[in-house]
Amino acid sequence: MTGIEYGLVIVLLLAVFPFSMAQMGVALDQEDIESFFAWTCIASSIAGLPAVAMLLA
């Protein structure tokens, strides 16, 4: 991957992470545990990607 592609991936992750956090709040407000669990898994996966990238580099 080129530097531009890495930059685009980082920008995409930075845009998706706050959205997933907001969706977690909505799920809690609606007392929807399944949706909260799904968004928690998504947010955790996104948050862990930099560590995985460092391990693979």
What CA–CA distance (Å, rounded) separates 4 from 41?
Answer: 28
Mean of pLDDT over the chain = 85
pLDDT (average), residues 31-46 = 89
- Pick the closest to residue 19 from 43, 36, 37, 41 (CA basis): 43
The predicted pLDDT at position 31 comes to 92
Indicate whether 46 pLDDT > 90: no
Q: What pTM does this model have?
A: 0.65
Structure tokens at 43: 């947010």
- pLDDT of the residue at 34: 93
